Structure 1
Amino acid sequence: MIPTITFHGAAGCVTGFCAEIRTERSRVLVDCGMFQGSKTLKALNYQPFPFDASEIDAVLLTHAHIDHSGLLPKLMRAGFTGPIYATAATKALCEVMLEDAGGIQEGEVRELNRRNQRRGRPLVEPIYTARDAKRLMPQFQTVKFGEAATIAPDLTAIWWPAGHILGAASIALDIEGEEGLLKTLFSGDLGPGGTEFVTEPESPSGLDHLIIESTYGDRDRMVVDPAARRRALAAEMRDAHAAGGPLLMPAFAVERSQELLSDILAVMESGEAPAGDVFLDSPLAIRATEVFLDRGWNKSSGRNPFEALHQAGRLRFLGKPAESDGLERLKGWHVIMAASGMCDAGRIRKHLKRLLWRREATVLLTGFQAVGTLGRLLAEGAERVSIQGDEVRVRARIRMLDTYSGHADAGGLVRWAQAREPVAGTVFIAHGEPNAAQGLSARLTAAGFAPDRLAIPRLDETFKLRRAGAETQPAGPARIDPAATARLDWHNDRARLLLALNAALDSAADDAAREALLQRLLEDLKKSAPVDRDQSAPAGAQAS
């Protein structure tokens, strides 16, 4: 048979990357990530896989981020028993990240079930548990950069440094098919170029097919060296200090937290930023930091740039919930870093509820914010937000600093793709919101790539991989409306409606005006049949 590729995730959106390669003798996945963003998109996490997990021979993992690895325990529970190939650093990070993800799901489901019992609604269960994540780890097999690994009789893979996070890789996959050997390359998530923290991306050229990410496919960022990046961070810290309150930093627990902490301590030590206590309030980031201290050696710089975190006097690790709760008593200048980076889970939500309404507080966003996430709403200037059912007025200073992004910008993606030429077949543009994917397509066309050889896959779309180019195949029923993958959904609209209603009631002239407004709304609602069911299950929960 002609080999095929099916995009089961990160198609029309940034998260949930999962590509299935099928040949006459084997079926493998490249990544098996968790969807993040709107609740409609996250609902895919607890739906059945669109394939039989027991028939998957192996998983090839690019890196440890949850949107690439987060559904691996679910895959195991669904019947997958094969090996998971990954670099040693990726395996070490997955060991802490997947267990943490399972624990978060268990905690959120416990809270949801308490509410459901009070409301007489069905109980739910986590998609997987921390114990499931531990059971998965023996299936990992480590690979070394640059060394070929035989995945199946007709599949050979080589992992190449992607420059994104510790252990991150692009994967070159050679596929034996009817037309001979097909050379394919999965970019994984590409870094912005070599820094003191990560190495320069490397990959082979001369391909038949290329799969490239497009997170920032429509955006150029200012190129800065490490010193300039620290100066920009120090300026934000000085402004936050001048505002009179704390600096709250939502940050991705792996790589971003460690890089930011290293630079925060450096600018405090140099006097570029005001000194103060720095709290890392994320059990996952704390455990991940141990991996970075152990495996963060950078061959380019000849040192481990994270060593400063080992004995930093100002840095406090808050592992226990009681330690986190104690931050509520602090006044004045200090820095709190907590996960998640998109403000969608973890302890950051508690701190946002406590600080967003305070004018003296500063919230500094340092990474990509997917559509539908609380972080994206804050970045786009929301004046009121709903956090865990509570309405919060946004008075804090909301700032963004994109010099710490772990992704290449549009120019970097084009240069990386050009360095992979010639590409005889198709360039698949994935892992991006529609505007980003289309923007990268336009830039690649301007750079000389033939437009008819560029494809932007839809979710679950399958292509036959021929040497001369890919052929799309008839699609089955869509798991989700393609237009819903990268937009605000009805859950977001409901939250906006409730916030707008409260604002209108607050600003109404008197009680009579408030009663009239509510009566008009109630009359409209009576036209629709009420449905008493829970539509607010967290990502990672499913009906039992």
Structure 2
Amino acid sequence: MMLDLLGGFGEKGRTSLAVNNGDDRILLDVGIKVGASGAEYYPALNGSVGDIDALFVSHAHEDHVGALSWLLSRGYTGPIFMTTETRDEAPATLAAYAEPEDFRRFPFPHDRVEIFEPGDTLKSGNLTVRTGRSGHVVGGVWFAVDNGKSRVAYSADVVPDSHVFVMDTIPHCDLLVFDASYGADPVSGTARAREISEWVARHPQGCLLPTPLSGRSLELIAALPGPFAIHAGMRFSLEAQIGATAALLPGVSELLRVRLASAVDWTDADPLPPLPLLADDGMGEAGPSSRLLPRADQAGFPVLLTGHLPAGSPGDLLYRAGRADWVRMPTHPTLSGNVDIWEKAGRPEALGHSCATDLLADLKSHIPSLRTQCRTGQRIMVPQGSKQ
């Protein structure tokens, strides 16, 4: 098997890779790169897309599905595999991040989607695609692709030590493509959640917490120390996520349901509340937070950013100007989590995606088989024969 690294290697964003096995070729994710423009906004998929047999989407965040309309505009006509939750969330992601003309001409293709459940094993030609829960969002998955001789496991975005979501163990493989978003950051999710809780407690007059609609929002709700508000447009999605009990750790669904039931619904017409206010998205690029960040800044309303901030994004500009704080809420693996994933996968050769090059170098001292020189645009061979 060969892998084409189409995005997310030596960079954060436009996550995408193709698995090639003779006449079989499948695409895993098709994301965009926030903050980029032109060709760099999209996966490095040069030439025709006619040889792609199937697309498998891990989850509905923009850096994994945001280029779907672009892919369709280039002539992709094959099946699109995703979970129910990813299908339900992806249209809003495309509306926010696709090129408007692409989205107008190629809206989300509901009739082309083939639904699977996390844990299902799928087929495309001579390739077998195993799936498992990612721990990152409801309906999010990792993929392990096998041709009978070798296996490559692509984690997509995972959270092995989430306090909310379940992550299934990635199987033994010959090549592990893992989520290196945080490099060798050793600080646990528990410690970060405590830091966020303490920050919120120091701002009893209210504060704004921009957050992705899926995934991190539930992690924040679990971490908040007291009453809070949500943008009213988030409630339906949050209720659906909390109701997906198979994706959540035991007992978490009921805890989150009680917390959400007591949350105050806030709308754009309301004054800023004397409560922590959750509003999507996490970068201020789209959704309610794109309107709320400048409003909070003008009013001197405290802002806490808790995730990735692409250079030049509204959240990044506010933080760099010293008018917002930042504490990472881990929604990707920290160091101990990635070492554990690698060890359970049989200590295979490894690539890190969604990570800057200097952070990859830091990781290699902990994961010796990590290939730090691989970059978007390259083709590599999957080793054979060591999987169990």
Query: Does the residue aligned with 1:454 lie in a helix, a strand or coil?
Result: coil
| Deviation sequence 1:23-79 (CA, Å, 0-9, x none) | 21111101111211x234x65336994242232100122222221112123222322
Deviation at 1:100, TM superposition (A): 1.6
The match for 1:484 is none
Residues 1:140 and 2:113 are matched in the alignment: yes
Query: For the Cα contact (< 8 Å) 1:251–1:257, is it kept in 2?
Result: yes
What aligned pairs does 1:320-331 form with structure 2 within 5 A after superposition?
A: 324=268, 326-327=269-270, 330=271
Residues 1:186 and 2:182 are matched in the alignment: no
Amino acid at match of 1:351: L
Change (3 A) 1:435 1:422: closer
Corresponding residue to 2:240 among 291, 296, 299: 291
Corresponding residue to 1:249 among 194, 209, 215: 209
What aligned pairs does 1:462-501 form with structure 2 within 5 A after superposition?
A: 462-467=379-384
Taking the aligned partners of 1:48 and 1:437, their CA distance within structure 2 comes to 21
Amino acid at match of 2:335: A
Query: For the Cα contact (< 8 Å) 2:150–2:385, is it kept in 1?
Result: no
Deviation at 1:287, TM superposition (A): 4.5
Query: For the Cα contact (< 8 Å) 1:170–1:186, is it kept in 2?
Result: yes
Structure with max Cα Rg:
1
Deviation at 1:341, TM superposition (A): 0.7
Corresponding residue to 2:132 among 160, 167, 176: 160
What aligned pairs does 1:321-400 form with structure 2 within 5 A after superposition?
A: 324=268, 326-327=269-270, 330=271, 333-359=274-300, 361-379=301-319, 381-383=320-322, 394=323, 398-400=324-326
Residues 1:94 and 2:94 are matched in the alignment: no
State the identity %.
19
Query: For the Cα contact (< 8 Å) 1:93–1:291, is it kept in 2?
Result: no
What aligned pairs does 1:197-208 form with structure 2 within 5 A after superposition?
A: 197-205=164-172, 207-208=173-174
Taking the aligned partners of 2:265 and 2:182, their CA distance within structure 1 comes to 33
Query: For the Cα contact (< 8 Å) 2:177–2:353, is it kept in 1?
Result: yes
Query: Does the residue aligned with 1:444 lie in a helix, a strand or coil?
Result: coil
Change (3 A) 1:376 1:442: farther
| Deviation sequence 1:70-90 (CA, Å, 0-9, x none) | 212322232222222233xxx
Amino acid at match of 1:92: E
Q: For the aligned residues, what is the CA RMSD?
A: 2.9
What aligned pairs does 1:391-470 form with structure 2 within 5 A after superposition?
A: 394=323, 398-402=324-328, 404-423=329-348, 426-445=349-368, 449=369, 454-467=371-384
Taking the aligned partners of 1:342 and 1:56, their CA distance within structure 2 comes to 32
What aligned pairs does 1:186-265 form with structure 2 within 5 A after superposition?
A: 186-195=154-163, 197-205=164-172, 207-224=173-190, 229=193, 232-241=195-204, 244=205, 246-264=206-224
Deviation at 1:202, TM superposition (A): 1.0
Deviation at 1:431, TM superposition (A): 1.6
* TM-score, normalised by the number of residues in structure 2: 0.88
Structure 1: give runs of 5+ residues left out of the alignment: 110-124, 269-274, 319-323, 384-393, 470-544
Change (3 A) 1:102 1:164: closer
Query: For the Cα contact (< 8 Å) 2:178–2:353, is it kept in 1?
Result: yes
* TM-score, normalised by the number of residues in structure 1: 0.64
Query: For the Cα contact (< 8 Å) 2:360–2:372, is it kept in 1?
Result: no
Structure 2: give runs of 5+ residues left out of the alignment: none
More helix as a share of residues: 1
